[in-house]
Amino acid sequence: MPRVLISDKLSPAAIAIFKARGIETDFRPGLKPAELREIIGQYDGLAVRSATKVTRELLDAAPRLKVVGRAGIGVDNVDVSSATARGVVVMNTPFGNAITTAEHAIAMMFALARQIPEASASTKAGKWEKNRFMGVEMTGKTLGLIGAGNIGGIVADRANGLRMKVIAYDPFLSEKRALEIGAEKVELDALVARADIISIHAPFTEQTRNIMNRERIFAMKRGARLVNCARGGLVDEAALAEALAAGHLAGAALDVFETEPATASPLFALENVVCTPHLGAATAEAQENVALQVAEQMSDFLLTGAVSNAINMPSVSAEEAPRLKPYMELARLLGALAGQLTASQGDAVKAIRVEYEGAAAELNRRPLTAAALAGVLAPMMGAVNMVNAPSLAKERGIEVAETVLERSGDYATLLRVTIVTEAWTRSVAGTLVGTGKPRLVEIKGIAVEAEFAPHMLYVTNQDRPGFIGRFGTTLAEAGANIATFHLGRDAPGGDAICLVGLDGPLPDGVLAQVRALPLVVRAIPLAF
């Protein structure tokens, strides 16, 4: 039975979901880092909000951990790189608090436009400074969105309802999507120059760090306003304070800061700045939604292999997971065969190609390719799985390619894994038979119909009379019981392949005897 630890405050309804799905669940918020490290090795899943820091040291102490679920959008508190290297799936919940965060951004815009916080403080102080707080209307103003994903799209929808003109910059924004959300797609510099209000809704990455730097802040229209309810580190806070103090900008509203908790900032002393303590997702509805969502996602993954909203691996829906499962196993086995054959020669891999033919071509192929990569790399690198295989391949400069073949072949569905080194290019292919059982059908272009077995022996030899008898006798005399025996050759008297399934590991010394047989070119023990 899978076991999950919830180390931050989470809704009781989320805990109930885990338990109803048959997952053993421990709710222990407030653990100190050392206490968490002591117990994390007992768990398959870890559910967190923002308080728990999932560090490399914590992951090192969690050999059993398969998934980290973050109830919220940002994963700043999770070392995603270390999790990926260790094969741990990292999930977030990008939709549970989207409306709440978008509404907060709109609220911040109104607070700036009508100087609501300052007016409130003045009135509560017994003043009646009606002439001091002259606001501006939102209607007719140009709103520039930096980031037009889920939250940005909701902000655009609300802004259109306010009769604002919406322009948006997002490197992934298509013209069709821009039309759907009612925005004009523009480049970043054009947005900065045109917008009366800029609202940021981008993730924090090395590419977006200080996306609103000093140059862009001072390139904004004089009297414009800036809102950031996305992530700290997207705005140069010192430059923003300078622009506000100089009167270049009319105001700014920030819900997030480069350092949090933000207890000191040059922005705090400025009257035309509205600050909130990272409240974007702080509504009862959002907190409940993300808690329920992370519980469902983690449960689906641990019980069925379905992957939703993962930061570091392809998504697999709960509906397609059962259909993909046998294909993922086939891809892994083919990759493992190709990887073991390659590892035995010690050649450096330059490229890995995965081909899909027939029914396989119509599937969600990214997880299948990841499974094939894991199979190929594991014999050479050790602890590799679907999560870390793509990044390991990239780190080593291995080119990975997918090919879809629409032609009709001998099989209704076919996967082929090809390995390319400096010296050679070789492939293995397989299909599914019966109720989805993986079957090998080709090695190096030679037809070989074979089942996969936990222990196998792969032999290439010259096709001459008498070889099979001598080979079988050698195994029999060593006490190696043959479970299956499969043969293939490229032509009579040419190169031949013999693939033998064994009841157990090859006894000591037998491999050397097989390799010493006349006509044997290579002999490699395989494990699956």
Cis peptide before 2 (omega within 30 of 0): no
User: Are the beta carbons of 70 and 52 closer than 8 angstroms?
Assistant: no
Active site (annotated) includes residue 237: no
- How far is it, in rounded angstroms, from Cα 94 to Cα 73? 5
Q: Which of 49, 216, 278, 332 is catalytic?
A: 278
Which two three-digit tokens encode residue 104?
Answer: 């907060």
Active site (annotated) includes residue 362: no
- How far is it, in rounded angstroms, from Cα 502 to Cα 270? 77
Give backbone dihedrals phi and psi of 457, rounded to 5 degrees, phi first.
Answer: -130, 125
- How far is it, in rounded angstroms, from Cα 528 to Cα 452? 8
Please give the helix or strand (H or E) that residue 253 lies within, else none: strand 251-254
Give backbone dihedrals phi and psi of 237, rounded to 5 degrees, phi first.
Answer: -65, -35
Report the phi/psi class of residue 418: left, alpha or beta, with left for phi > 0 and alpha for psi in -120 to 50: beta
Burial profile 444-464: b = 16 or more Cβ within 10 angstroms, e = fewer: bebebebebbebbbbbbbebe
Could you give the 3-state DSSP secondary structure of residue 437?
A: strand
Which residues lie across from 352 on neighbouring strands? Answer: 400, 419
Report the phi/psi class of residue 398: left, alpha or beta, with left for phi > 0 and alpha for psi in -120 to 50: beta
- Burial status of residue 148 (CB atoms within 10 A of its CB: 0-12, 13-18, 19 or more): buried
Rounded alpha-carbon distances, angstroms, from residue 421 to 351, 379, 395, 437, 446: 7, 16, 17, 30, 20
User: Are the beta carbons of 349 and 376 closer than 8 angstroms?
Assistant: yes
For residue 224, which amino acid is it?
A
- How far is it, in rounded angstroms, from Cα 519 to Cα 438? 30
Q: How many CA atoms lie within 13 A of 66 on its CB side?
A: 19
User: Are the beta carbons of 439 and 485 closer than 8 angstroms?
Assistant: no
Q: Which of 260, 271, 395, 477 is catalytic?
A: 260
Query: Using only C-alpha atoms, what is the Rg of the chain?
Result: 30
Q: Which residue has the tokens 């990044």?
A: 391
Active site (annotated) includes residue 395: no
Please give the helix or strand (H or E) that residue 499 lies within, else none: strand 495-502
Q: Which residues are catalytic?
A: 231, 260, 278
